[in-house]
Structure 1
Amino acid sequence: MGAVNQTALSEFILLGLSDEPSLQPFIFYLFLSIYLITTLGNLLIILAVISDSQLHTPMYFFLSNLSFNDICLITTTIPKMLVNIQAQHQTITYTGCLSQVYLILNFAGIENCLLAVMAYDRYVAICHPLKYTVIMSQYFCIMSLFFSLVLSTVHALFHTLMVLLLSFCTEIEIPHFFCELAQIIKLACSDNFINYLLVYTVSVLFFGVPVFGIILSYIQIVSSVLRMSSLGGKYKAFSTCGSHLSVVSLFYGTGFGVHISSAFTDSPRKTVMASVMYTVVTQMLNPFIYSLRNKDMKKAFRKIISRIAYLL
């Protein structure tokens, strides 16, 4: 295959999750259900935080933004896949593919930053409870969100612009259901060493620093909790971190699993299935994790349901 200039390339082909025609209806309805559940669950969390004044705290401020980000992240991938299945058309335009790469990197980056800030919030709440309102001020919360957006945007834009420098072959097939950065770089006909080098160095720094911050926060939290004399206080402290730890484990565990599986397996399908975990399943489970383990959220949900029932 001959290489063509990136501007001459008009579209990519997304091979999806399976090439079996008989499985397409099942995949369509499964992911449509996942998308609706994810969107509804995260919208309920946002609505609960907005409507209940008791939830107007830094922890729930970041949680509501995390829920909004989860809706954006899953909307970047699933609707296009559903349209392709329904239309029996597997193509995505070159511009659309690059836009998808940028948006996925951006929203995944925001989630990465938010999880780190939420870990810091738990650290301050448990280790410095008397200074909590001073440290976690409204200004600090807004600036943390702002810097998360800026850093994620710069990171995503950097990688997307680097893809623009690559040349591609005339026939492009992506063994995925969305345009993943690593898959795009792999398909380039031009030298992609610099892209790979930057992906692993910049991304390790961008995702590694928040992970290090989360680990450091929880080392301090565990150390502080173990010094508590009251068993009730220990249980309460750990319970406030349970939901966040579950989400962190899901997001980073599945994300690292994708990169490990892609390094040790030659099967693109296995890599795709691993990607489903951190781009789809994690976003669907987050509302359940926070609502089932949190008494305040349960109370807020009951208020919303009772208001809806009253209106009906």
Structure 2
Amino acid sequence: MNGVVVKAQPRIYSLARFSRNKTAATGLVIILFLVFVAVFAPVLAPHHPYEQNLEKALLPPCGEYPFGTDDLGRCVFSRIIFGTRISLQIGVTVTAITASIGVTLGLLAGYYGRLVDEIIMRLVDILLAFPGLVLALAIAGLLGPGLFNVMLALAAVGWMGYARVVRGAVLAVKEKEFVESAKAIGAKDLYILLRYVLPNVSAPVIVMATLGVGYVILAAAGLSFLGLGVQPPTPDWGAMLNSGKAFMRTAPHLTVFPGLAIMITVMAFNFLGDGLRDLLDPRLKEKKIE
């Protein structure tokens, strides 16, 4: 080795190959559109999301109200547009927190092993023994409803998957020559983890995080539907479904449009995650060739 650190050769991912994956490209376009809607919500919404007009309550879709109005006369279209902000905020924030916690603990467990690995992975096994959504319901019930509490509840139950995946990847990477070379010349553990190990285990984390955003949005909508998430009058898709379920026969638009918004958003992140998995996982490519 002669004191020279052998660096891991970075993979070069083809943007052209990604663009040929129509499913992934479609998901990316939808996500970019949702981000645009969230950023420019005040400009795109024809009405204020909190504006009430009881004289126009439960109107069907029309020119003035493209998605109709709710039982308080509020514009459903405007509330769905502003609800995009809430959903993306929850999805991205919770995923960032869970990925950070899971990756950190997975790196420590895989790299140091022994007692550190035992403590972290036994904790993961205990938490995975409970269904994630049920555990999130219990935590949200204890903390009470609200935006911050629902994000905290989902973050508390979402990091275990990242920890297990990263730990398994680290166990393979830490035996590579470039890691052994770095140890041989006296590089510190933190430097090795950040400079050599983390970049080589990032591919599955990126895929998991992309798919995780969709799951978090769906779970947050479920908690809001049950009354444990974002509370009225904040425009949240799950809360809109909850308030509209009493009018499913007389005003089905109150549940159809928020439901479509959730479905399309989750579908877009799933499409993008599947495309990234095809692009970043060389083992999957080999199976397809075979």
TM-score between both structures, scaled by the size of structure 1:
0.31
Higher-Rg structure is 2
Higher strand share: 1
Higher helix share: 1
TM-score between both structures, scaled by the size of structure 2:
0.33
